[in-house]
Amino acid sequence: MDVDAQHGESTKAPKPHDILWFSDGSVVLATDLYLFKVHKTVLSLHSSVFKDMFDFPGVDGLTNGGVISESAQDMYEGLPLVTLVGYSGEDVAHLLRAVYEPRYYDSRRNQTPLPVVIALLTLSTKYDFKTIRSDIILTISRYYSIDFPVHMSVATGDQSFPLFGVERWDCHFPLLAAAFKCNADVLLPSLYSVCSGFQLEHVLDMSKTLPPECSRALILGRERLRSSLVTLALNLPGRVQKGIAEHICPDEESCLSTVGFINWQSAEVVNALLGYECGIAFVYDTLGSVCERCGVYLANEIDVRWNVIWRNVPSYFELPDWSVLREQLKELKKT
């Protein structure tokens, strides 16, 4: 008896993909939705995982924790059939089109849709397509940088500005999850930092979308980062008094004197420092009454201290130190 039919359900067999079905292909890849008739030589050139599998045919079981399944009796229209387990046909199509179509995604721009970016990062890592993996990590790193000035300028920009086809703040958590799963360490300091900038309730809600160890690192790291910002906030009254003493303000009565009444230890102030990561954005949102000269002065004082905190961000989130991350980035650029 057909149990699926009994329940009014049908299982659709995968169909040949409209684009990735080459008449001279030498292997068929099977997914949940599509069949791809492609070339062993092309896949072997780009992927060590496929190369090893094709170099040792007839091995059932297989490589990469069972993600690839092939056996000698699996054939489709006279060609070897390889079943890719655990990933959607759409995601595999993105990867294969990136292999066959050099302009399928533009690594110099941010127009590639977020699902495509995540699919390329995830599958290129899983199947060891080194060039695609390096390209996509370097593309993401332009917006989630290990360089503090770059990170700060992007992190404090308009978060509703489009990035990978969505508003930028909608990228943070999905990219954090993907980068963590793919061991893309060079992306993690910036991603952890921007994700920490949300209110705790939102962080806790979104942490459910992350791998457990990633969620743990985010929540604990956020508390360590926040503790450092409490110290920063406690130092700001002294910076205010210094500015008054040095007559930073052009007015006879310094507008910095009004700032002295702020409760610098309040949760609102610390959360604002955590969310903005940039002195000028914090000053004009929290201390809107100060003049331009006083605002620039305070913003610079905050940025200097944020820069010191940034040096410790990898340790807050249990990541390799900056020297290791910079070396990893250098290796990616060589690929």
pLDDT in tens, the chain (335 residues): 333 334 444 467 899 999 999 999 999 999 999 999 999 999 999 999 999 988 876 544 444 444 555 555 588 888 999 999 888 999 999 999 999 998 898 877 788 999 999 999 999 999 999 999 999 999 999 999 999 888 887 766 665 678 999 998 899 999 999 999 999 999 999 999 999 989 999 999 999 999 999 999 999 999 999 999 999 888 888 888 898 898 988 888 888 887 766 777 778 888 888 887 677 788 877 776 788 888 889 889 888 999 999 999 999 999 999 999 999 999 999 87
What is the per-residue pLDDT for 263? 76
What is the per-residue pLDDT for 6? 41
What is the per-residue pLDDT for 118? 97
3-state secondary structure of 47: strand
DSSP-derived letter for residue 248 is: -
Distance CA 335, CA 195 (A): 29
What is the per-residue pLDDT for 328? 95
Distance CA 277, CA 296 (A): 15
Which residues face 76 on adjacent strands? 79
User: Could you tell me which of 256, 299, 247 has the C-alpha nearest to residue 278?
Assistant: 299
Count CA atoms closer than 13 A to 106's CA, side-chain side. Answer: 6
3-state secondary structure of 127: coil
What is the per-residue pLDDT for 291? 86
Residue 42 makes CB contacts below 8 A (sequence gap 6+) with 99, 100
What is the per-residue pLDDT for 156? 65
User: Could you tell me which of 164, 168, 178 has the C-alpha nearest to residue 209?
Assistant: 178
Token pair of 317 as six digits: 């989130």
3-state secondary structure of 35: strand
Q: What angle (nearest 5°) sits at the alpha carbon of residue 27, between those of residues 21 and 31?
A: 70
What is the per-residue pLDDT for 15? 94
User: Could you tell me which of 302, 316, 314, 296 has the C-alpha nearest to residue 234?
Assistant: 302
- Cβ contact 254:244 at 8 Å: yes
What is the per-residue pLDDT for 256? 83
